[in-house]
Amino acid sequence: MSETRIMKEIEEMYNDPPDNVTAGPINDNDIYHWIATIEGPEDTEYKNGVFLLDIQIPKEYPFKPPKCKFKTKIYHPNINKDNGEICLNILKPDQWNPNLSISNVLLSIMTLLTIPNFKSPLNGEARDLYNQSESEYKTRVREWVKNYSGSENIK
């Protein structure tokens, strides 16, 4: 069942991808390992950034959520700055909904870039900086975007 569902999602991603997102298997031999890019949303400090994500789809998909991590360094309260782990409710096994797709997940991650959840930080430093000085926080985000997430940094 998972292979049929994943093949359908691959076709949908190629034929009708969400705006500012690309995603698909890394190679033709493994439909369970994807790579994705997300362009930073225009109305955020992440604009002009291109972010690479690694997506591991479990064999039990869609009944278990994919594991998504940023490969591009990013300064965000809900993303671990060292390993790219993402704190997003829909990716938690007890909150995952099998009706969600990889496309839905990527759109939710884009929304997280627009609206961080400061109550559930993986990067407490980013949350604390935001609470102390929103302008310094935004400056730090822009510095990281400039240093790590330009299209020239995508490998």
Among residues 44, 27, 24, the alpha carbon closest in space to that of 36 is found at: 24
Tokens of 120: 């559930």
Q: Which of 23, 36, 68, 87 is catalytic?
A: 87
Could you tell me the end-to-end alpha-carbon distance of the chain, in angstroms, rounded to an integer?
A: 32
Residue located via tokens 């278990």? 64
The verdict on whether 68 is a catalytic residue reads: no
Q: Which runs of consecutive H residues, i.e. helices, occur in the chain?
A: 2-15, 102-114, 124-132, 134-148
**What is the chain's Cα-based Rg?**
16
Q: Which residues are designated catalytic? A: 87
